[in-house]
């Protein structure tokens, strides 16, 4: 298993500003994911962040809006840029252990973002 922490746990931001969310894992992992969960909805994958390469974004998500860093095997950041109220969501990072997606994912506690 993996223990994951996220910072901040919640934030209230003004329209047009940016917020960077940090994800820290207690062990080295290859695959790390960022999800968005809009109010009352399920999780939607934003991107896959692998160390040593650029993040791979899902349809509907672009690097300019959600830049991601993955400087090492235990840490990643997601920035929500030029925020609007529609970006109000919970943002979660997750990792998978050895064996990739054929095993379970471990999730961080999430960052609850409110954009005014």
Partner 1 sequence: SQQGEEDPQALSIQEGENATMNCSYKTSINNLQWYRQNSGRGLVHLILIRSNEREKHSGRLRVTLDTSKKSSSLLITASRAADTASYFCATVRRNGQNFVFGPGTRLSVLP
Residues near partner 1 (CB under 8 A) are: 4, 33, 37, 41-45, 90, 92, 94, 100-110, 112
Nearer to partner 1, 54 or 104 (CB): 104
Nearer to partner 1, 48 or 51 (CB): 48
Least distance from C-beta 95 to partner 1, angstroms?
12
Least distance from C-beta 63 to partner 1, angstroms?
19
- According to DSSP, the β-strands at 75-80 and 19-25 are antiparallel
Tokens, residue 7: 């910072």
Nearest to 77 by CA among 114, 47, 115: 47
Least distance from C-beta 93 to partner 1, angstroms?
9
Nearer to partner 1, 22 or 81 (CB): 22
Nearer to partner 1, 2 or 13 (CB): 2
Least distance from C-beta 103 to partner 1, angstroms?
7
Tokens, residue 80: 């929500």
Tokens, residue 43: 């999780």
CB 93 within 8 A of CB 108: yes
In whole angstroms, what separates CA 33 from the centre of its chain?
6
Instruction: Give the integer Cα–Cα distance in Å for 19 and 116.
Output: 13
């Amino acid at each position: 298993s993996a223990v994951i922490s996220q910072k901040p746990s919640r934030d209230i931001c003004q329209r047009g500003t940016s917020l960077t969310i940090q994800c820290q894992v207690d062990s080295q992992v290859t695959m790390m994911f960022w999800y968005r969960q809009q109010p009352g909805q399920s999780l939607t994958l934003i991107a896959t962040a692998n160390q040593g390469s650029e993040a791979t974004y899902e349809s509907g998500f672009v690097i300019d809006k959600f830049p991601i860093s993955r400087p090492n095997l235990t840490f990643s950041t997601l920035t929500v840029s030029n925020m609007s109220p529609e970006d109000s969501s919970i943002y979660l990072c997750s990792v998978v252990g050895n064996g990739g997606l054929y095993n379970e994912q471990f999730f961080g506690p999430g960052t609850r973002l409110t954009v005014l």
